[in-house]
Structure 1
Amino acid sequence: MKSVLNTGLVSLLFLILQVASALNLTGQPVKKVFTSTRIAMTQSVDLPSEGEFYFVLAHRFGSIEGGLYDMFGLDLATIRLGFDYGITDRLAAGIGRSSFEKTYDLFTKMTIARQSDNGFPLAITGNLSASFNTLKNTYPAEMDGMWNRMSFSAQFIIARKQGRFSLQASPLYFRNNYETRSETDLNLFALPLTASIKLSKRFSFNTQYIPVFNKPDFADDNPLSVGIDMDTGGHQFQLLFSNNAGLFDKAVLTDTQGRWKSGIILFGFNLVRVFYFKDKTK
């Protein structure tokens, strides 16, 4: 299975490179399909520009139904610190660490095609990510190796911006090498669907639904989120309400703890600080 996964990931990367080299489209590119490189619970089609360094501080809290006893979920915070960098205008990479299951994650994104005026109608990005769980005393001794603690995902992110509206679909394959709850490996397919409307120059409203196919028995509702993004130039603020507190693919796809219809709703926010390592005037 390990060799099959490696072959699949290499094949996907090769396909991305081939398509990217084949597309030679004219027209003025549409900049910033969304407010940020992340939208709700997932990656967006956008990348940091060359030389841009993003410091991402993400918080997800417990259910607001706990009231004052849990300070409306603030006592149950999950935190992720992340660093994203634009290697070129078409290639970016990032790394992060989440307090949930003490997990490290990394990703790389590559622009395959850009939406352009009088040109190609869609923006397409390829994304590969991996995560590594370092939580102690959770894996049986015979399965407690680095490979079994890892999970991977591969996806195409397809989006279009039309006026104030942006839509995105992100077909995704996810693999967890060893799932402790089912005591086996886990392979999932998901289709994150995202919509955003620009309310003003600085504000946008977003909603996202992530249907997860062939879910295991322990998985519950599909993730559903609504939120507001605010861009002040050097900072980006993202506020959201969701039934999921995940900060990386494994948590988002397999650990939905809330339920909208039961009032089990979780609050979260992302704070993004942008640093420029390249003169933007050049």
Structure 2
Amino acid sequence: MLLFCVALLLHLPVVAQDDLMDLLEDMEEETTDYTIATFKTVRLVNGHSIELPAPGVLQLIIAHRFGRVNGGAYEFFGLDQANMRLGFEYGLSNHLAVGVGRTNLRKTYDAFVKYKLLRQSTGKRVMPVTVAGLSTISANTLRWANPDRPNYFSSRLSFVHQLLIARKFSDRLSLQLMPTMVHRNLVATAREANDVFMVGAGGRFKVSGSVTINAEYYYPLPGQLAPGIFHPLSIGVDIETGGHVFQLIFSNSRSMTDDLYLTQTDGLWELGDIHFGFNLMRVFTASKKAHLK
């Protein structure tokens, strides 16, 4: 009997150790690994990416778009003409961000909210893509062309709603789809649709640890836009330098607000109607909590 009790006591630590190892293995099996850094910045080129500023982080975006490079030396290859946008974006949580901006083109003010619905992940929870919803509002504040007629503030407003669907295929390659609807309260002619539906596609290819090449293209459904309006195609190079990200951009659109570059692109790449520009992005930590993270 004594020998049985001794054997039982010696066996208990082994059983407990086995149970602990099984528990640790189960915990490891239940881990969910979320994909990070699908894109380098919150912008793909002109449009938004699925990325958000970190919670408590304020991001400053200074954007410039110049005139067409086919303007030649007389226009200094477009540099004589400049449009600028000053924007701020703030991360409220890991899933929610807001932003505001102002551009001198049509003296437009804009604001947006972006919410991350799903995150690409592996492990316990498998999700093949990251999905974010984006809604923007913009207000054209130019003086009324005809102040003597009845004019309404609502006529100045435009809205954009997008579903951003992205997948990081590898450390080098990420792709994104952008089903999009633009609503304009007022259009110039009866031939133009107030509601414009289109689909966009874009991606990035990582050249090195600090350099990526990005591109985006939008295809609007036929018969919605005015004659002489074309599909926006933009190519960019992202260069990360310390706390800054510098984006060099070439596009057939000179607009920087979502409603305008989607519905008012009047240049063709094949004719040399290319606008050079850049985005300068600087991150500021606006809370101690974000700094600790």
CA contact (8 A) 1:228 1:239 kept: yes
Q: Structure 1 residues 140 and 190 mapped into 2: Cα distance closer, same or farther (>3 Å)? A: farther
Shift of 1:189: 0.7
RMSD of aligned Cα (Å): 1.8
The residue aligned with 2:7 is: none
Q: Distance in 2 between matches of 1:132 and 1:256?
A: 18
Matching residue within 114, 129, 133 for 1:122:
129
Question: Which residue number corresponds to residue 17 of structure 2?
Answer: none
Q: How does 1:82-101 map to 2 (within 5 A)?
A: 82-101=87-106
1:280 maps to 2:291:
yes
Identity of aligned residues (%): 38
Q: Which runs of 4+ in 1 moved over 6 A?
A: none
Give the TM-score normalised by structure 1. 0.87
Mapping of residues 245-256 of structure 1, within 5 Å: 245-256=254-265
Q: Which residue of 2 aligns with 1:208?
A: 216
SS in 2 for 1:75: coil
Residues 275, 139 of structure 1: alpha-carbon distance in 2 compared, 3 angstrom cutoff: farther
Name the structure 2 match of 1:135.
142
The residue type equivalent to 2:273 in the other structure is: I
Stretches of structure 2 that go unaligned for 5 or more consecutive residues are: 1-29
Does structure 2 retain, via aligned residues, the 8 Å contact 1:223–1:242?
Answer: yes
Residue equivalent to 2:183: 175
SS in 1 for 2:175: strand
Which piece of structure 1 moves more, 183-192 or 252-261? 183-192
**Following the alignment from structure 2 to structure 1, what is the Cα–Cα distance between the partners of residues 215 and 283?**
24
Deviations 1:181-224 (A, max 9, x none): 55876110111210210111110001111111243233522011
The letter for the 1-side match of 2:129 is L
Q: What's the offset of the Cα at 1:274?
A: 0.5
Secondary structure of 2:80's counterpart equals helix
- On the 8 A contact 1:139/1:180 being kept in 2, the answer is no
Q: Contact (CA 8 Å) 1:219, 1:254: kept in 2 or not?
A: no
Say whether 1:188 aligns with 2:196: yes
Equivalent of 2:207 in 199, 204, 224: 199
In the alignment, the residues of structure 2 paired with residue 156 and residue 142 of structure 1 have an alpha-carbon distance, to the nearest angstrom, of: 38
State the 1:68 CA deviation.
Answer: 1.7
Q: What SS does the corresponding residue of 2:292 show, helix, strand or coil?
A: coil
How much has 1:116 moved relative to structure 2? 1.4
- Secondary structure class of the residue paired with 2:34: coil
Query: SS of 1:250's equivalent?
Result: helix
Query: 1:52 aligned to 2:63?
Result: no
Shift of 1:89: 1.2
**Residue identity opposite 1:196 in structure 2:** R
State how far apart, in whole Å, the 1-side matches of 2:122 and 2:146 are. Answer: 52
CA contact (8 A) 1:181 1:218 kept: no
Q: Could you tell me whether the CA contact under 8 Å between 2:83 and 2:103 is conserved in 1?
A: yes
Distance in structure 1 (CA, Å) of the matches to 2:188 and 2:226: 13
Is 1:71 the counterpart of 2:71? The answer is no
Is contact 1:241-1:265 (8 Å) kept?
yes
- DSSP 3-state at the match of 1:216: coil
Letter in 2 for 1:38: R
The range that moved more, 162-171 or 246-255, is: 246-255
SS where residue 260 of structure 2 aligns? helix
CA radius of gyration, larger in: 2
Write the letter of the residue equivalent to 1:228.
V
Q: For 1:31, what is the secondary structure of its paired residue?
A: coil
Q: Give the SS at the match of 2:186.
A: strand
The change in CA–CA distance for 1:141 and 1:37 in structure 2 (over 3 A counts) is farther
* TM-aligned CA distance change 1:41 to 1:206, over 3 Å: same
Equivalents in 1 of 2:228, 2:79: separation in Å?
24
Q: Tell me if the contact between 1:61 and 1:78 (Cα under 8 Å) persists in the aligned partners.
A: yes
Asked whether the equivalents of residues 108 and 138 of structure 2 are also in contact (C-alpha less than 8 Å), the reply is yes
Q: 2:159 aligns with which of 152, 175, 182?
A: 152
Q: Which residue of 2 is the match for residue 29 of structure 1?
A: 34
Find the aligned partners of 2:77 and 2:144 in 1 and give their Cα distance.
30
Once residues 165 and 184 of structure 1 are traced to their aligned partners in structure 2, the CA distance between those partners, rounded to angstroms, is 37
Shift of the alpha carbon at 1:146?
A: 1.0
Gaps of 5+ in 1: 1-24
Deviates most, 75-84 or 142-151: 142-151
- 2:243 is matched by which residue type in structure 1? G
Distance 2:145 2:213 in 1: 39
